[in-house]
Each structure stands twice: as structure tokens, then as C-alpha cells.
Amino acid sequence: MMDGALQHDPLVVAETWKSSGRNVAIATVVETWGSAPRPAGSHLVIDAEGNFEGSVSGGCVEGAVITEALDVIASGHAKMLEFGVADETAWRVGLSCGGRIRVYVERLD
């Protein structure tokens, strides 16, 4: 039996989902500039049905990453995504204080 922290670790979830036959993608924050909600190294795991665990940002950014991850699962081609906004619109898309993030999305094979 896994303890609570491990049970919700996105990488452990990815391994569990993959082992059960699901197609899975992992999104990883690889770089941040300014104020970003999640630090580099944060993970979001997504399956082909759109289920997800973890977080790479929040708001519209997370939704966009999930959408891109579904394409990565289907195509098998990894993607580097970059999100950044001006201070005025930052809160609406989940990036406080105008931060920018770069997220790498890859299929788990």
C-alpha cells in the first residue's frame, strides 16, 4: 500500500496508469521566468481520456497543456510549449505577475 504522498506523485500515477494499459503523457515544467505558480520540475500526467494528476501551472495554461498532451499521446511526437503573458492578463490565465513558463510534453512509452 502506498502512502498518501506517493499515491499522488504524478510520476507514480503515470507508472500506475501505464501499467494498467492506459496511454499516458507527462508534462514537465522545464524553465520559468518571473513569477510562475509551479517551479521547474513540476509534473502533470495526462491519459488519452483527458484524466490528469499533478500540476504545471493552473488556469488556462493547464487546460492548454492537457489539450496538447492528447495530441502528443496520439502522434507520439513530443512538444515544447511556452506560455507567457503581460501583467494585465496574467491572473486570467493562471500566471501571476506576468511570469512565463516552458513545459515539455512527452508520451510515456
Q: Where are the domains of the chain?
A: 4-108
Rounded to whole angstroms, the Cα distance separating 81 from 78 reads 10
**Locus of grid cell 512527452:** 106
Top-confidence residue, 28 or 62: 28
Average pLDDT for 53-64: 87
Mean pLDDT of 65-85: 93
Mean pLDDT of the region 16-21: 96
Query: For residue 103, how many other CB atoms are within 10 A of its CB?
Result: 28
- For the chain, strand residue ranges (E) read 24-33, 43-47, 52-54, 79-84, 100-108
- Compute the mean pLDDT over every residue in the chain, rounded to the nearest whole number: 85
Note the pLDDT of residue 35: 74
Work out the number of other CB atoms within 10 angstroms of the CB of residue 38: 21
Looking at residue 36, its pLDDT comes to 77
For the cut 90, the answer to whether the pLDDT of residue 88 exceeds it is no
The predicted model scores a pTM of 0.84
- H/E segment holding residue 67: helix 59-75
Q: Exposed e or buried b for every residue in 60-84, given b needs 16+ CB within 10 A?
A: ebbebbbebbbebbeeeeebebebb
Residue 24 near residue 18 (C-beta atoms within 8 A)? yes
**Mean local confidence (pLDDT), 31-58:** 91
**Are 49 and 70 within 8 A, CB to CB?**
no
pLDDT number for residue 33: 83
